């Protein structure tokens, strides 16, 4: 779902850069230093998952795991995704520097939104699996929709690519939903404090101290 340089219009690029900068500022403020390792691990998982991709016009389809990052990290998912996208751009030329802000918004925006909306259900063993599945699947759907919107706002010539980008991510929604449900259920049993959206719980503070 990386959009390359030279594709999007200047207004779209500027809007994406401004929104990404704001999200980064809030995300960094909401990131306790005791959670840096968790953020680094999930950012690395996002980085690796996105390396295997299939080209779809000016974008690509691949495992994303942004819903999982949103479920576990909350606002900290924004800097985690931004960092992974930056290294992908610099090391493998996936996406582009000028489109980095837009790509961050496309992937981090839905991750944050559905992570926050579904988090309260993670405490319920009855609804946890369903909520986690929805978080993973809908985060991918939201990213595909935002990617298609960014292309459409940049010109009607990208309409076919926008449709291909959306359709190409339908099976990935199901896979991501299952992965997110499995991981969230595991964390709920092993480290429930990690499902607090990046916030430290008083009873687990000592565990996170070196």
Whether residue 26 is predicted with pLDDT greater than 50 in this model: the reply is yes
Classify residue 32 by burial, with Cβ atoms within 10 Å: 0-12, 13-18, 19+: middle
Residue-range domain boundaries for the chain = 10-205
Alpha-carbon distances, residue 149 vs 107, 139, 159, 168 (angstroms) = 13, 15, 9, 15
Average pLDDT over residues 90-103: 89
Q: What are the phi and psi torsion angles at 78 (to 5°)?
A: -65, -55
Describe the chain by its helix, strand, coil percentages, rounded to 5.
75, 5, 20
Distance CA 77, CA 110 (A): 10
Q: Which of 128, 167, 119, 118 is nearest to 145 (CA)?
A: 167
Centre a 10 Å sphere on the Cβ of residue 125 and count the other Cβ atoms it contains. Answer: 10
Q: Which of 140, 141, 123 is nearest to 187 (CA)?
A: 123
Whether residue 210 is predicted with pLDDT greater than 50 in this model: the reply is no
Whether residue 206 is predicted with pLDDT greater than 90 in this model: the reply is no
Q: Do the Cβ atoms of 110 and 76 come closer than 8 Å?
A: no
Distance CA 106, CA 210 (A): 35
Q: Do the Cβ atoms of 69 and 20 come closer than 8 Å?
A: no
Alpha-carbon distances, residue 113 vs 33, 79, 159, 177 (angstroms) = 23, 15, 26, 15
CB neighbour list of residue 136: distance below 8 Å, 6 or more residues apart:
65, 67, 68, 71, 173, 176, 177, 178, 179, 180, 181
The CATH number of 10-205, from 1.10.300.10, 1.10.1760.20, 3.40.50.1100, 1.10.1740.10, is 1.10.1760.20
Confidence of residue 99 (pLDDT cuts 50, 70, 90): very high
Confidence of residue 203 (pLDDT cuts 50, 70, 90): very low
Q: DSSP code of 198?
A: T
pLDDT digits (tens, 9 = 90+) for 140-191: 999 989 988 988 888 766 777 777 777 777 888 998 999 999 999 999 988 8
Q: Do the Cβ atoms of 54 and 168 come closer than 8 Å?
A: yes
Classify residue 122 by burial, with Cβ atoms within 10 Å: 0-12, 13-18, 19+: buried
């Amino acid at each position: 779902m990386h959009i390359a340089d030279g594709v999007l219009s200047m207004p779209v690029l500027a809007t994406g850069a401004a929104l990404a900068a704001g999200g980064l500022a809030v995300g960094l403020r909401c990131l306790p230093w005791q959670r840096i390792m968790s953020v680094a691990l999930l950012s690395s998982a996002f980085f690796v998952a996105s390396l295997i991709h299939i080209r779809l016009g000016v974008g690509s389809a691949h495992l994303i795991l942004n819903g999982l990052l949103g479920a576990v990290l909350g606002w900290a998912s924004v800097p985690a995704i931004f960092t992974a996208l930056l290294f992908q751009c610099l090391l493998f030329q996936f996406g582009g520097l000028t489109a980095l802000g837009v790509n961050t918004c496309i992937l981090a925006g839905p991750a944050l939104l559905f992570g926050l909306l579904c988090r309260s259900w993670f405490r319920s063993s009855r609804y946890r699996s369903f909520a986690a599945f929805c978080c993973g699947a809908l985060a991918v759907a939201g990213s595909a929709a935002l990617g298609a919107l960014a292309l459409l706002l940049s010109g009607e010539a990208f309409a076919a690519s926008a449709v291909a980008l959306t359709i190409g991510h339908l099976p990935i929604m199901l896979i991501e939903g299952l992965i997110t449900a499995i991981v969230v259920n595991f964390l709920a049993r092993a480290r429930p404090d990690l499902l607090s959206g990046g916030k430290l719980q008083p009873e687990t503070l000592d565990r996170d101290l070196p």
